[in-house]
Structure 1
């Protein structure tokens, strides 16, 4: 567990963010940074060092987990590298980012924690909940792009949000959030976990309320309210609410609470 945490959270994800930031050279707000500093060449080299450390740590578990870390890292690099730059392909980048940050990451973490290999991608009890994480990300991902339209257009990037427009992005996410709720409802109820279904709905409630409040303001003045601050609060609320739910779900599902 410690090796997986160190490899993914302390090295792979920072490597991915740093690498993409170097090639994006954002001047406006980005996720987590309202006023990002100008990037330097050192960021590029440090991101590669972090990527190497992530692979080495992953290899201490097994070579297959390390291979998954390599695949994730290379796909992430393709997102912003000028030779490929998936950000110029709105639908391809949306599908790829949602799948690899969701389903693939879920399976990768499972493989590392269980000392498995690529066979986890063929295990229904791993792949299906992994796919549900992608469904959730496919709904929320375009919302993280609504405040970057000007900068993306200036670079010649075609993100999905830019293609849909601001109000179109909110409508698109609304549909996907509904589909996400139905998909998770099927997952929990199919397993006779009614308690988890109601818990999931409770966790989604603050997220949905915030989302539609934000949408209401955006419809009044999209230039004023489709901004960094609103988007980051959407991230914070959804992260807190859903992490609390999934931590509780883990404790209940593993019967740890009964032992305590």
Structure 2
């Protein structure tokens, strides 16, 4: 369990790419508390997400590049137990907030386990896995983080001011999620996993993602405009500019040569650029929306 190869499969740094959802929830929550912020941040990004990464890696047994690992080491049984240990720690931290927040993390973890576990393996089904992954990493995670940060419970899933921004995060993830599969077609096909990207094909994946990026961009712009936050609208569109430009350049190369350019390196740079841009924007939006900047 303590082998370095097992810890590598947790892919803790990869949690950075899921942080925009946390910062968006932080910007929207009305009850800020330093202790809760720290607990939720650690519980989700240092334990829950890495637990999910390790658990799925154990059952996937990938031999080629996966998100965050160019050359994944061979998995061992110790990885399975390490992922469960991280899951239990995450739940324990969640209980420091309240039992409802912990139960949300429990549900998230169980759905994540179902993604790769051979008895269910949602990954085998193209559209159901796409919908569920985007829904839970976006909408559900936003609501879960909002509940933890605010010390609320399941009732937040009935509140429109939580539901709407939560849906926005899923719209964005439904666009980016297929791109994370674009370089794994060979290995997915070998295992019998009919992922959405494999079903759409490489060029089809890019076209599909482009449509969802456009939809999510319009939806976010509408959200900020109807709140009268025009600066945030411009800020969001500006933050997305390097992401869209990179996407266009990448797609142009892929159209010329799928084999050479639909690869791990290009996909990870897409993650890095979007992760940096969105984290920077939502941190700024948190400071602006909560008027913390006006104090200085």
Shared fold (TM-score, shorter chain, > 0.5): yes
Q: 2:244 aligns with which of 203, 208, 222?
A: 208
Matched, 1:18 2:54: yes
Give the superposition deviation at 1:110.
Answer: 0.7
- The Cα shift of 1:185 comes to 1.1
Query: 1 CA distance for matches of 2:263 and 2:286?
Result: 34
Structure 1 residue aligned with 2:187, among 151, 164, 167?
151
Question: Structure 2 CA distance, aligned partners of 1:179 and 1:165?
Answer: 21
The 5 A counterparts of 1:1-260 are: 1-260=37-296
> In structure 2, what is the Cα distance between the partners aligned to 1:56 and 1:245?
31
In structure 1, how many angstroms separate the alpha carbons of the residues matched to 2:210 and 2:43? 34
Residues paired across the two proteins, number? 260
CA–CA distance in structure 1, aligned partners of residues 239 and 72 of structure 2: 31
Write out per-residue CA displacement over residues 176-208 of structure 1, whole angstroms, 9 at most, x where no aligned residue.
011011101110111111111111110010000
Cα separation, 2, equivalents of 1:9 and 1:176: 26
Report the secondary structure of 1:218's partner residue: helix
The CA RMSD over aligned residues, in Å, is: 0.6
**Aligned equivalents of 2:162, 2:270: Cα separation in 1:** 28
When normalised by structure 2's length, the TM-score is: 0.87
Gaps of 5+ in 2: 1-36
Q: Name the SS for the 1:157 alignment partner.
A: coil
| Cα distance in 2 for residues equivalent to 1:190 and 1:6 | 33
Three-state SS of the structure 1 residue aligned to 2:156 is helix
Query: How does the TM-score come out when normalised to structure 1?
Result: 0.99
How far residue 227 of structure 1 moved from its aligned partner, in angstroms, is 0.1
Instruction: State the secondary structure of the residue aligned to 1:147.
Output: coil
In 2, distance between residues paired with 1:249 and 1:111? 19
Instruction: Quote how far apart the aligned CAs of 1:7 are.
Output: 1.1
- Give per-residue Cα distances to partners, 1:31-87, cap 9 Å, x unaligned: 000000000000001111111111111011111001001000000000000000000
1:14-37 CA distance string (max 9 Å, x none): 100000000000000000000000
Determine which structure has greater relative contact order: mean sequence separation of CA pairs < 8 Å that are 6+ residues apart, divided by chain length: 2
CA distance in 2, matches of 1:235, 1:10: 19
